[in-house]
Amino acid sequence: MKNHQKTDIDAEYAYIVQTQEIWFIDYIIGIAFVAPIDFREGLLKSGRPYREFSDIKDFQDFMDEIFGQEIDIESSVDPITKEEQTYSKRIIRYRKRNPY
């Protein structure tokens, strides 16, 4: 894994080498999701900043650190085929509620 540090930008992409997934991360609203673009034609040509991670665990560890809490990766399953739906993976940061 490359040296990943906290970011001062609002949004960026993450490329997961092992799965070849591209995630879009929005740091302001605290959400990340698999983007329906490919690496060469979409990500590289977009000119947007991205971080590269060797696997989903490295990405998850980075997101834990950025959001300051443990995150979960959610996904949707097709009710008929019981298979995970393409581009359904997402991370949502749940903010702790103020008890007062």
Burial (Cβ within 10 Å: 0-12, 13-18, ≥19) of residue 72: exposed
Determine, yes or no, domain membership for 97: no
Name residue 25's beta-bridge partners.
12, 32
Q: Is residue 23 one of the residues assigned to a domain?
A: yes
Q: Mean of the pLDDT values across residues 93-98?
A: 52
Query: Which pLDDT score, from 0 to 100, does residue 86 have?
Result: 62
| 6 assigned to some structural domain | no
pLDDT of amino acid 54: 96
Range of the domain at 32: 11-92
Is the pTM value of this prediction over 0.75? no
Q: Answer yes or no: is 1 within a domain.
A: no
3 located within any domain: no
Q: Write down the mean pLDDT value for the chain.
A: 79
pLDDT of residue 66: 83
Domain count for the chain: 1
Task: Supply the pLDDT for residue 53.
Answer: 96
Q: Please check whether residue 98 lies inside any domain of the structure.
A: no
